[in-house]
Structure 1
Amino acid sequence: MILSDNLPEILEECGPRGGGVSARERKAILRALRKIGAYVLAMVILLTGAAGLQAASVVDGVERVRLENGLTVLLKEVQDAAVSSVQVWVDAGSADETEAEAGITHFIEHMIFKGTPSRPAGEIARTIEAAGGSINAYTSLDRTVYFAEIPAPETATAVDVLLDAVQFSLFDEEEIAREKEVVLEEYRRMEDIPERRLGREMMALCYEKHPYGRPVIGTMDSIRSFDRAGILRYMDKWYTPENMLLVVVGAFDGQAILDRIRSQTNRFPERRGAKKALRPAEPPQEKTRTLLMQEKVGQVYMEMAWHIPPLLHQDIPALDLVGAILGDGKISRLNSRLRIDERLVNSISAGAYSLKDPGLFFISSELSSEHLGKVLRIIGEEAALLGKEPVSPQELERAINQVEADFLFAMESVSGQARTLGFFEMLGGGYQKVETYLSDLRAVGPAEVQRVAARYLRPQNLSIGILLPSEAPFEVGTDEIAAFFEPALDREAAEKGEAVSNPVSMKVFPNGMRVIVKENHDLPVFSATGVFMGGSRLEPPDKAGLSKFTARMLTRGTRNRTMKEIASTVDGWAGQLEGFSGRNSFGLSGRFLSEELYPAMLLFSECLLQPVFPEEEVEKVREDLLAAVRAKEDRPTAQLFDLLQATLYRHHPYGKPETGTAESVAGIRREDLLDWYKRMAFPSGLVIAVVGDVRAEDLFTFLETLFSSFTAAPDGLPEVSGEPALLEPRRAHLERPGSQTHLAVGYLGVSVKDPANAPMALVDGILSGMGGRLFRELRDKESLAYSVTAFRRPGLETGLFAVYLACDPAKTVTAREMIFNELAKLREAGVSEEELAASKRYLLGQLAIGRETNGSQAMQMSLDELYGLGYDHQDRFIEAIGAVTTVEIQRAVQSVFRPDGCVVVSVGPGAGEP
């Protein structure tokens, strides 16, 4: 199983809403798909009955109903939930397509929201967003899923809309033509992402006969070939009630929702249906396969994949543990040796990608080309060792503890529970199997881990794909690449699975630090965040990246513990503890099981107050940061946002990249880190927030004693002035090869304390989202871009508001002018009462969804308190949103979107006028 978010792009699934949802939702969806949808990790995250953990079972209270027409329905009432998740699962993925249909599953997923007889194009998204929810979908190799998150009182609305869409979509010819252009843009966008290019080739290398080897999105030729008749034939085959599953989790009346579902599904059209054909079997692999690509990238991307059995095979639990032991957590074998000890890779992860048919076990890494040979040898040694010697009981227990903790944290959201139930019901042998998987996992012993490692991690079963920088000095062929790996593995081995309104308290300690505690006893977990002022805003001009550097060092050694001791302790608790840094602050965040509350908070305080910045660790972190800076060269969106900020902020420190530059990071010394930390870290400048299964009064007492020696006097923070108003438009372009041009139109925005902050948040909603003006006009009507969205970053002095899109280079000028047209309409005509009301519902719904987890609440409250807004600012912001008028919207728009106050930046091919 793969627990890290740093996963191979090869495993990402396709969804249609590239720029039509918020950045937060895109990240959440991707994280969920990575952790649940595609992986057997889902089978761990969702388990119950874990030894030592007192968590309610995800299957408790589930009602399973099979309707007369064959549709299966799973309902789970969670009556204290603020939101509900509604999901429609279709038991058909890209692997069920014929060769001629390649990509049609994904294309239909795009078209499903394009209108029905009762809801014209755009109305589906507008209805959900007007109710405060969000709607999306994804296509994978084995399934297609449509889902909505919505405030709980609107659960029936989501049920109605999704069932209408998946059965009564019109597939209008003009909409099909427009959406082809959108999907072609998505294809081009994937071409610009190195991991995706490698991933596509790797799947084809691993699956020579089985349809898993075809890209989910199809090819440019197949996309262009789709027509309405072919789409309807496909719908007739697979979108039958018997082949679908509806999952609803949240706060609702179960009987009322079931009655609503029956009334909606009784009118479903008759469809012919089709019997699932056996997919072509992949022949056994008999020798190592290798793929070597050289392109203009900034680092090496490497994938290794071994064939493994299908999802329901008895060896899957042990393979999940093999993945955890090799690549999950800082002290996993590969991370410990390659990333922490020998500093040979920028990232590495391992895990089983379990599918309906035989899947793959992956090891993925990013590294510098000069280390490639050594890294291959070490991975071979570690994989071989796991197949030769039994793992220790302690290491096995650590792996199991980690996945048990992941289960608990995933259970914080109703959407995670819904995905769990859907995954198991459709692919895992029935939703009740959630209850049995953990016992299967715990039944795995060291000998079983050794057996499956030896059986599957063999050189004959291995495929290796490497994407090298074109100028890399690594000049060997594919046979030599395989030879690096084979000696270590060449062996024979025996072949003998709205947030609950809990009370919040804040206490100011005698030393001036502030502590916020919110009790939430739903699950035996808690999250903690500690923040100081800092970030790129307070860095010296020549030390860009200093805040991020400092934050990374917080867990790299204290007066009492080394980095390895910290990592080992945290992993042993199945927790997480990391430093973070942004534009305005830096600090420490963690999440743990509540049984570890006091030792965890002791370690938390040590890392926050007693970092010693060991010289050896400073150099290791420097290497990591320099690798992150280099990696931006492979990501045009990252380059675009750096260019946007540098062009917009010529005087304010927000113009510096948060990661720093290669020059600035190389110049930061240990003394710089110590001096800056001492200036930023003082008691009255510290805010700690803890949310979860804790007792506030007990925790206050403990923390007051723990932090009583923290008495450093403030040395005064640097003064920062706002950015002067732009007096004329600015433009900048960064030339780089690729299939798309990435474009941003930006303006100086408002501060977090500006009364216009609430109106501009609503403007963001009016422009963004699937029902927003930008999506509707530029994507739905004109097919100019796959990704298009607005975004805002309010600052402490001066904020930012921008529109982003990625499009064919030939369409850049048209797209830019259409953006200006839409912003001009807002300035001149304003918004209607109906549009404002819909944006309010959408924004309030998104704010509720964003407060589901303990960690998100701890971070929000601590930052709001630190910035002088008050820890309860979110509640007052919600009230302000409700009070905004159309007049205030237009006033704010006219103040921000000034024609002479914009910047236009672009990254991509075409060095002409941006």
Structure 2
Amino acid sequence: MARTRSTSVLALLLLVALSFGAALPTAAAAQAAATKVQSLEGITEYRLDNGLQVLLYPDPSKPTVTVNLTVFVGSRHEGYGETGMAHLLEHMVFKGTPTHPHIPKALQERGARFNGTTWVDRTNYYETLPASEDNLNFALELEADRLVNSFIRQEDLFSEMTVVRNEFEAGENSPSNLLSQRIMSAAFDWHNYGKDTIGNRSDIERVPIKNLQAFYKKYYQPDNCMLVIAGKFDEKTAMQLVEKHFGSIPKPERELPKTYTEEPPQDGERSVTLRRVGDVGIVAAAYHVPSGAHEDMAALDVLANVMGSAPSGRLYEALVKSKQATAVGSSASNWHDPGVFQVEAEVRKGDSLDEVKDILLDVVESSGDSTFSEEEVERAKQKLLKQRELAATDTSRIAVQLSDWGAQGDWRLYLLHRDRLEKVTPEMVQDVAKRYLRRENRTLGIFIPSEKSEKAEVPPRPDLAALFDGYQGREEVALGEAFDPTPKNIDERSQNVTLSGGIKGILLPKKSRGEAVYLRLVLRYGDLESLKGRVTAAEMLPAMLVRGTKHLTRQQLQDELDKNGATLSASGSAGTAVFTIQAKRDKLPAVIDLLKQVLREPTLPEEEFEILRRAQLSSLEEQLTNPAVLAITRVRRQVSPYPKDDVRYVPTVEEEIERFKNVTRDDVQKLYDEFLGAQAGELAIVGDFDADECLKGLQAALADWTSDKPYGRIPSEYFPDVPGATERILTPDKANAVYMAGEAFPLKETDPQYAAMVVGNYVFGGGALSSRLGDRVRQKEGLSYGIGSYLSSDAIDARASLTISAICNPQAMDKVSTAIREELDRLLADGVTPSELAQAKQGYLQQQQVSRTSDATLAAILTENLEADRTMAFYGDLEKRISSLSPEQVLKALRTYVDPNKLVIVDAGDFAKAAAEGKSAAKEPAE
């Protein structure tokens, strides 16, 4: 469960929750009828008599359906002593009802992607499942049930409180997160936006169960909710199911209280300083701005983009290009009540924070007196509108995003904000900069800090009824086809091609929402010997290729992509460069032309090289005290002990820092000149495109482009003689500890026992909250916010690995480690039960089906298939083998490959502080 960020969720245990007045909806109860309110751009709104707001957003092209229930309660609604209550309640609602006692397990069995998140103005719960009337009925029944019948029990609070506290501790590890909390707390004297959604530690630990029950009963009612259904479904059937499950919930008699605290205008600059262990300095500032519904917010969003975007943003130009900061950012909050405009800069350890602070504040606070050019404002608008347009091709994303727009007061703000963005002018941007980015309206924060009272007046929240009087919206986005993501259908619909130089390609044309298309190109080069000493240059090469060509600077390239409503990204490692494009059908040929420039005419600018190198160094220096990075690096180094001169060698963080200090732009240029070409690789295009036109452009991009250096695949090697080990790493001042364990074994994806290992891992820890690790360590014992196991495998090399990870309070590490070992020993001794096996099969197979509904994921699968010289028939066969597995086969595979005594176990955290706190607590008298 998350605050502003999405994370997974749990649930379990049963009992009855009628003690505080929750009533089970019954068929005999009078159902609240639905009234159609309006229809805008493909979104139809209904209202039930009990007050429930319903939005239907059909998309027949996606074989999934998403149900998103937003409860309009967040940290803004919490009272004294209740900080974190909305977020804690989000966790508790996953603990079940009398009808659905095991919610995560029920969702997992249907292959659902699900989550719950909490933010300042709302809490939301969503699940995306394979599209079917049965799954839609299940999701609606579940959400209606837990809306009013959840177990909010003392025993669940005991275990879940420690999980939420662990999440609180995880946030304490991030200086950026902590600094943001301190700034908000200083910026707001009275309004609850000054209190972090995760809450105060003592409130989390001490909240009485009766208070939590009362909070739940007050806010979790149909007249305080918005239900969104998106994806593939029949609208008439959907509304019948909504009326069946939600209509039987009576409208509450209580009158929902409204928040009424208004933050007075700030009358002088404020500052906070944070001193904690870390390796990267931060300078940040926040300025009060209007609520999300106010017309100024569109101009403020554009202003944030003009300030913080790379590479032409004003802060980027002033701080990153001058090498005084490694990264900058800027954002404007769109909240129910007046929020903040934030700017931030990261500074390498040893560089001057004061100089960065002075430059940052001068750039921001003088902007109201400067002229904003048409070019920079249009660039920002194009980028913002492109992001919206790309997001609009995925109705499941919009279904969840509507939570925040609805929480601002009216979901139609999602549409109105777009209209306002299009109308923003340079004069409007300058006007909001002048009125809000003022010294007396600033709260400064520094992670290592008026002479006269002035006020920045923030307008009141507008009248939404008047705002939307006569509003009509626009035409809805073009719909795609109903695509069947089974391996058999994917193979039947695909076309194999061969491009210039021998690159293997596969084309999967299909009608997609918004005429969207996804392209993935993988170029392969070099071998184990020829790439020695070139690993760091290889890691930088893909990112450098998209930073300028002979005809386009980095900014001009980005502008062209924005004009075409497309993205082009690059990544890679030694021997591999991966390029991905997301675009619309009619724009893809133009973007392929841009890709041609990137591949064939890169300039690898020295200035951009230095910016990238410094950013990498800053990121690595931040990892020097990161428990998770240190632990997983130590495990990987021991499980895969390659020699230091091998390209597969796992360096320490310190060694990586030295590599990036020593790498030069000439190293990258030489690697490009000598190695890169179209002699080996794979291509996949998935979505709505003209095959002939795209292939013509790609052939031109790759023609006559080969390297004299031969390509040889870099294999993954299994080391059979690695002994088990246990190690502890001390990371002072880190409130959250990390457990990592791993071992490798000789297994590849085509081996007979691979399917059994997949299911065995799923039962052990791969099935998230419904797995054995999730059930015991998080659900029952409440020791960890995040725990799981992961099976990594290869299609060609007989080298696979099992990794186990968990986070926890340092004082709980011994309990977590013991629980993990006990569950692994129990699994290897007794195997899986028939019930576990059946649930794992169903959950895993439906998850695979859902994952293939993502064009990006499908393109990655198809390129992997090309490299391995296989088709989707491999997955069809794998799924058949999984379906026919017996408990005995799973146990045999686990015993064959997993040896607990060969696990390399590393934990990292502030165990010295934890020990001291434990001794102190032991001395305190019992109450």
TM-score between both structures, scaled by the size of structure 1: 0.86
Amino acid aligned to 1:739: A
Tell me if 1:451 matches 2:455: no
Amino acid aligned to 2:594: L
Partner residue of 2:736? 740
Tell me if 1:505 matches 2:500: no
Change (3 A) 1:869 1:585: farther
Larger displacement relative to structure 2 (806-815 or 790-799) = 790-799
Amino acid aligned to 2:707: A
The Cα shift of 1:835 comes to 2.0
Larger displacement relative to structure 2 (689-698 or 183-192) = 689-698
Question: Are the aligned partners of 1:292 and 1:467 in contact in 2 as well (CA < 8 Å)?
Answer: yes
Question: Are the aligned partners of 1:408 and 1:525 in contact in 2 as well (CA < 8 Å)?
Answer: no
Q: Which digits, 9 at most, give the CA deviation of each residue in 1:429-467, with x for residues without a partner? A: 2x3444433222222222111111111111111111111
Larger Rg: 2
Partner residue of 1:33? none
Question: Are the aligned partners of 2:537 and 2:663 in contact in 1 as well (CA < 8 Å)?
Answer: yes
Partner residue of 1:556? 547
Question: Are the aligned partners of 2:546 and 2:570 in contact in 1 as well (CA < 8 Å)?
Answer: yes
Tell me if 1:645 matches 2:627: no
Aligned match for 1:656, one of 650, 654, 673: 650
Aligned match for 2:287, one of 298, 306, 325: 306
Larger displacement relative to structure 2 (266-275 or 216-225) = 266-275
Larger displacement relative to structure 2 (173-182 or 664-673) = 664-673
Q: Which digits, 9 at most, give the CA deviation of each residue in 1:515-545, with x for residues without a partner? A: 3333344324433322133799889565553
Change (3 A) 1:781 1:361: same
Amino acid aligned to 1:895: T
Aligned match for 2:338, one of 351, 358, 361: 358
Partner residue of 2:390? 409
Question: Are the aligned partners of 1:793 and 1:800 in contact in 2 as well (CA < 8 Å)?
Answer: yes
Q: Distance in 1 between matches of 2:287 and 2:281?
A: 20
**Greater RCO, CA 8 A, separation 6+:** 1
Partner residue of 2:779? 780
The Cα shift of 1:234 comes to 0.9
Partner residue of 1:5? none
Change (3 A) 1:640 1:665: same
Partner residue of 1:823? 824
The Cα shift of 1:870 comes to 4.6
Question: Are the aligned partners of 2:831 and 2:890 in contact in 1 as well (CA < 8 Å)?
Answer: yes
Question: Are the aligned partners of 1:730 and 1:903 in contact in 2 as well (CA < 8 Å)?
Answer: yes
Partner residue of 2:598? 607
Amino acid aligned to 1:287: G
Tell me, what secondary structure is at the counterpart of 1:460? Answer: helix
Q: Distance in 2 between matches of 1:453 and 1:537?
A: 54
Q: How does 1:673-684 map to 2 (within 5 A)?
A: 673-677=668-672, 680-684=675-679
Q: Which digits, 9 at most, give the CA deviation of each residue in 1:769-798, with x for residues without a partner? A: 221211111111111212212223324532
Question: Are the aligned partners of 1:645 and 1:655 in contact in 2 as well (CA < 8 Å)?
Answer: no
Larger displacement relative to structure 2 (413-422 or 658-667) = 658-667
Partner residue of 2:472? none
Larger displacement relative to structure 2 (295-304 or 72-81) = 72-81
Tell me if 1:63 matches 2:31: no
Q: Distance in 1 between matches of 2:173 and 2:45?
A: 44
The Cα shift of 1:654 comes to 5.1
Change (3 A) 1:539 1:281: farther
Change (3 A) 1:886 1:329: farther
Aligned match for 2:325, one of 332, 345, 370: 345
Partner residue of 1:761? 758
Q: Which digits, 9 at most, give the CA deviation of each residue in 1:589-614, with x for residues without a partner? A: 23334443233212212323444544
Amino acid aligned to 2:759: L
The Cα shift of 1:838 comes to 2.1
Larger displacement relative to structure 2 (358-367 or 555-564) = 555-564
Change (3 A) 1:364 1:868: farther
Larger displacement relative to structure 2 (710-719 or 157-166) = 710-719
Q: Distance in 1 between matches of 2:791 and 2:776?
A: 20
Q: Distance in 2 between matches of 1:363 and 1:772?
A: 41
Aligned match for 1:517, one of 492, 499, 507: 507
Aligned match for 1:239, one of 191, 216, 220: 220
Partner residue of 2:56? 75
Q: Distance in 2 between matches of 1:240 and 1:492?
A: 38
Partner residue of 1:906? 907
Partner residue of 2:381? 400
Question: Are the aligned partners of 2:147 and 2:221 in contact in 1 as well (CA < 8 Å)?
Answer: no
The Cα shift of 1:359 comes to 0.6
Question: Are the aligned partners of 1:530 and 1:608 in contact in 2 as well (CA < 8 Å)?
Answer: no
Partner residue of 1:330? 311
The percent of aligned pairs where both chains have the same amino acid is 22
The Cα shift of 1:811 comes to 2.0
Q: Distance in 1 between matches of 2:529 and 2:582?
A: 28
Aligned match for 2:126, one of 147, 153, 174: 147
Change (3 A) 1:18 1:631: farther
Question: Are the aligned partners of 2:792 and 2:801 in contact in 1 as well (CA < 8 Å)?
Answer: yes
TM-score between both structures, scaled by the size of structure 2: 0.84
Partner residue of 1:889? 890
Q: Distance in 2 between matches of 1:131 and 1:635?
A: 36
Amino acid aligned to 1:831: V
Partner residue of 1:723? 718
Partner residue of 1:801? 802
Change (3 A) 1:198 1:864: farther
Change (3 A) 1:538 1:733: farther
Q: Distance in 2 between matches of 1:585 and 1:428?
A: 48
Amino acid aligned to 2:347: L
Tell me, what secondary structure is at the counterpart of 2:501? Answer: coil
Tell me, what secondary structure is at the counterpart of 1:454? Answer: helix
Partner residue of 1:264? 245
Question: Are the aligned partners of 1:348 and 1:366 in contact in 2 as well (CA < 8 Å)?
Answer: yes
Larger displacement relative to structure 2 (221-230 or 559-568) = 559-568
- List gaps (5 residues or longer) in structure 2: 12-37, 463-481, 916-927
Partner residue of 2:35? none
Partner residue of 1:570? 561
Amino acid aligned to 2:166: E
Amino acid aligned to 1:772: S
Question: Are the aligned partners of 2:74 and 2:86 in contact in 1 as well (CA < 8 Å)?
Answer: yes
Tell me, what secondary structure is at the counterpart of 1:132? Answer: coil
Aligned match for 1:529, one of 496, 520, 528: 520
Partner residue of 2:577? 586
Aligned match for 1:126, one of 89, 105, 111: 105
Question: Are the aligned partners of 1:287 and 1:461 in contact in 2 as well (CA < 8 Å)?
Answer: yes
Tell me, what secondary structure is at the counterpart of 1:362? Answer: strand
Tell me, what secondary structure is at the counterpart of 1:650? Answer: coil
Partner residue of 2:789? 790
Tell me if 1:770 matches 2:769: yes
Aligned match for 1:702, one of 668, 676, 697: 697
The Cα shift of 1:671 comes to 4.7
Q: How does 1:12-31 map to 2 (within 5 A)?
A: 13=4, 17=8
CA RMSD of aligned residues (A): 3.3
Tell me, what secondary structure is at the counterpart of 1:301? Answer: strand
Change (3 A) 1:402 1:670: closer
Tell me, what secondary structure is at the counterpart of 1:624? Answer: helix
Q: Distance in 1 between matches of 2:718 and 2:381?
A: 51
The Cα shift of 1:891 comes to 2.9
Tell me, what secondary structure is at the counterpart of 2:215? Answer: helix
Amino acid aligned to 2:185: A
Q: Distance in 2 between matches of 1:534 and 1:709?
A: 16
Q: Distance in 2 between matches of 1:61 and 1:777?
A: 44
Tell me if 1:632 matches 2:614: no
